[in-house]
Structure formats: C-alpha cells, structure tokens
Structure 1
C-alpha cells in the first residue's frame, strides 16, 4: 500500500510514550501523526491534513479532551471524523460523557494494541463507507439535476418556436384547451387575438427570406412587456401569431391589441442598408357559451383578421 493510499490517524496525548505505543500498534497500516497538545492538533489540521480518525486523550495539562472533542465536532473539516477516546478514566459516567460529546468509541488505558487496531479499523471502515455513500448520493443528485435540466430544456424546445422564441402552435393549443375547459367549468372569460403581419410576402420577395426572418423575430420582441406572464403568446405559422388572454373581455383585449398594432407600425426594422416598415392586422374574438371548442374562437378571430385586411390592413377588428 502506497503512502498516498494510507488512511491517516492523529493521536492526541500529552505523554509522548503513549503516542509512540499507538504509532507502533497502527503502523504500517496507517499514517499516524502525533500531537501532545490541543495547539499541535490544530496546527496539524491547519496544514490541510484530513484525518480519517482521531485518538484523543481526555486528561491533558493544557486542555480537557471533552472540550476538544466538542470543538472538533463544531468544525466543518472534522465534524464527521470519528473520535475515539483513549484514557485512564474508567468510570461509567466518564464513558457516557464521551459518547454524549460525540465520540464513537471509548478505550481505557493501559493500551492493548490488538483492541485498538480492531476498534480503529471498524470505525475507519465505517467512516470511509459513509463518505463513499455520501459521495454516491451527491453524484446521483447531480445526475438527477442534470437530467431534470435536460428534460426541462427538451420540454422548452418542444413548446417553443425556434425562430422567434415564442410558444409554438402545439403549446398554444395545449394551453388554450385547458383555458376553454376552465371557461366551461367556471365561466371564466378569455379572448383570442389573431395577428397577421401585413405584406409579409412582399418583404420576403423584395429583401429575401433572411429579412423575413428578422421581421418575425422583431415582431416577437415587440410583444415582450405587453402581455402578462400567464398570457399565451405564440407563433401560429408563417407570419401569423396568436395570443390567448385569460380572464379578459373584448374591450380590454382591444386596448392591448391597439397598443401592439401601434408599436408595430412605429417600429422600423433595419436590414443591411434597408429600413423595413411593418404593420399588423389583428382580429379579436371572445369565447362564447355556444362554442363547442377553442377552434370556434380562433375561427372568429381569424375572420376578423380577414376583415381587417379587406378594409385596408393595419387595424384591429373585434368579431361580433
């Protein structure tokens, strides 16, 4: 066994001869370091020595072993390190106090090497196995967090439009169907906005598809800050967008839609040396009791968009 592989024991006793006896008993299986005082012990610990076990005398001139044990248990570095008292104090009350302050075992003097070696091996093996188990649990928790992050990322990718970063059509319908069921159960009104970017085909034809993609992303950015966290803003397909506004009637939805339409018309998109002007036609439909599913509201909002286009574009129409 190489020195690097050896487990380390610190023996704390004010009598050097007792330290020598324990070193002789535990070498060469372990690396054994001696300290004749609390100060020497702390010096060893300050040198980044990580003991696997500490053999601690109770009665020493400069300190009380029980107090030293309490101090070690309060330190992060040694809180879990097993401590065995090796002492001449043989009263049951002394042994009981040793366990109460955190020791794992209690050996009385005179020292019996065979007994010490057996007790030391038992507690070091238990300590090492505990460390290994904690590390295994930690690694498992790390893997679980990584898997959860991957799962969340995949869920986000599955629910998002890759170009604009908005929700995709599938995600919209999942949320909209839940909102529709809530409406049927609680009569909690909601409104659908259908949005079509005006003259989008002309933008693609004039400036190219890269410009078209830039326009779509720019419009998606315009929606940020206009809607609540629980509103569903999604790309429906091509240059069409759809927004679901829970607990919102047509009047409130109209005001929000007008702000979006106005900001879209004011926004100038720069592509290469070109300045592209963009407008949007928006249709609004509030869910009705007669609707059999969410598609009825979407269809009415879509018809309102068609009417907005027909009447000159860049306007908001409410379905009646």
Structure 2
C-alpha cells in the first residue's frame, strides 16, 4: 500500500477549483476530502480532526464564508491546532491581515501556481507532523511526571505512615515532635505530650488471635487520626503504644483531649463469631517546662505518667507535672 503524505480538507464552492486542487494533491500522494458547503466541512472536521493535517479554505463562499468558518474552527480547542490556509482572489492588505488575525497560517492567491501550492502544502503538513510528534512527546512526559509524582507520594507514605493503623509511624512522629520541641524553645510556647498504651493487649491477641488485635489497633488509629492538625501530631511508636504531641497547649487542655480519646477508645467494639471485643487505654500526660531540655526527656516523663496510670487501675489518664 502506498504511504500517503497526509490528509487535506479542501473547502471551496467552485466545483472546478475543487476538481483541479484535488487532482493535483492526489497525484502527489495526499488523501483529500473536499466540500462545496462550509457547514458540511465543519461537521466532518469536528468528527475527524485527529486525522486532518491541513485545511485549504476558500474565502468567498455563500452562507458561512471562509473567515467565519476559520473563526469557528480556531475557537474549538479540539480542532484549533489544524493549520488553515486560505485560497483567495482577494489581494488587499486588510483581507490578508484579517485572515492571519483569525488564525490562518498562510494564504495562496487564485488562480494558484501548482508548484507554489504543493510546496506550501508540503511545508504546513510537515510542520503539522512535527507538532504532533511534539504533542505526543509532551503527553508522554506529562504521564511520566504523573507516574513519578504518584510514586513519590507512595514512597513518602511508606516512609511516614504506619501501614496497619494509617497514622504516622515512629520515625515520622519523632521528626515532627522534635520540630514542635525546637519551635517551642525558640518561641517560648507550651508543648504537651501524651503516651497511650492499650490495656491487656496481649490478652486480646492470646484470646482472639492477632487478626483481632490488628483490628483493635486499626480502630485506635481511626480515633487518633481525628486528632491530627497543624498543632497536633499522632503516631504509633511501639506495638500497642501511641504518642500525641500538642503544640501551644498546656497540660490541662492536653488532659481534656486525652480523656476524650480514652472515652472514644472505650466505645470501640469488635464482634467475633463468639464474643464482643472491647478494650481500654491508659494515657500519661505531661507538659514541657524549663527543666526539660530534650524531646527524649519529655517522653520519659510522659512514660512515667503512663506507668502510674497502668499501676493505679488502668483505663485512666494520669497527668504528671514536671518539677
């Protein structure tokens, strides 16, 4: 099969012009679609725009003239990139300027010279093909960038999120909490810390299996995720141990948040085939003061408060004032 040089749409109300142009283009291996009526041409172009390389458009036509058709085409984002070359008997400067202002890329005067017409057609079809190749490369680049961004997002999530509970993992929590701590030192702002531990979690795993234990952890993650904000960071820092850092709030406000979290955890209910699994949590709360000089030290104080909650009945919040 002979390879065609491109597809050209010819629009002219003169049958003689149509026949002579089509015959010339077909002899030079172009696929040609011709129309005597502008509206029919517009309908074809709208449907087949991806296959068209060039539009040869007569200016003076009854009904929808060449200028009007060109204007309509250039306002349609799907077809506006198709080059339009005017065929015109008009040779006034104003007419030529008008054509270019409407978006035409070229014009050729009637009666046309065959050599000139073929060379101009070849030039614009070649440019159109280069544009297509650039668009294709651009689209491929956009897709590559999209995939890269999605990959980066996924890698960031893997690096910062605990996959089971879907809250921040220990590494990311410590990084953000350290930022809070440093900022609180610089600005002399308050910083509170909570450490939460699930009561008798080993018993849950031993009695109902680790899959139920995982469900419990996931539900607690849901509760803690609602606390995340610009001034609050939550994270899973151990098997059944979680931490919450609250920037800019004193220990009394932090204690209220801790009590709210404790009550929400107590409402968690997981049904098994034989039983309803319910859990409680103990929480230790502290506030940074002048004697605390590191996040690590603050976590130790919060852990001591948690230990006190565990040893005085569990399912409770213990606030410890650092001295």
User: What TM-score range do you get, normalising by the shorter chain?
Assistant: over 0.9
- Secondary structure of 1:282's counterpart equals strand
| Farther off after superposition, 32-41 or 9-18 | 32-41
Q: Any residues of structure 2 matched to 1:153-164 within 5 Å, and which?
A: 153-164=154-165
1:131-280 aligned at under 5 Å gives the runs 131-228=132-229, 230-280=231-281
* C-alpha distance after superposition, 1:212-231 (max 9, x if no partner): 22222222223343554652
Moved more, 165-174 or 22-31: 22-31
The 8 Å contact of residues 198 and 281 in structure 1, kept in 2 or not, is answered as yes
Using a 3 Å threshold, how does the CA distance of structure 1 residues 42 and 209 change in structure 2: closer, same or farther? closer
TM alignment of 1:1-320, pairs within 5 A: 2=2, 6-28=5-27, 29-45=29-45, 47-48=47-48, 50-228=51-229, 230-320=231-321
- The answer to whether the Cα contact below 8 Å between 1:254 and 1:284 also exists between their aligned partners in 2 is yes
Kept after mapping to 1: 8 A contact 2:198/2:279 = yes
Return closer, same or farther for 1:274/1:285 CA change in 2, 3 Å cut-off.
same
Q: In 2 relative to 1, CA 267–56 (structure 1 residues): closer, same or farther, beyond 3 Å? A: closer
Q: Unaligned 5+ residue runs, structure 2?
A: none
- Aligned mates of 2:255, 2:208 — CA distance in 1: 32
CA gap of 1:189–1:241, structure 2 versus 1, over 3 A, is same
CA contact (8 A) 2:282 2:306 kept: yes
Distance 1:287 1:187 in 2: 10
Q: 1:169 to 1:110 in 2, by over 3 A?
A: same
Give me the whole-angstrom Cα distance separating, in 2, the residues matched to 1:272 and 1:168.
32
Which stretches in structure 1 are left out of the alignment for 5+ residues? none
User: Contact 2:12 / 2:37 at 8 angstroms: preserved in 1?
Assistant: yes
SS of equivalent to 2:246: strand
**Helix, strand or coil for the counterpart of 2:7?**
strand
RMSD: 1.9
Counterpart-to-counterpart distance in 2, 1:228 and 1:100: 54
What is the CA distance between 1:202 and its match in structure 2?
Answer: 2.1
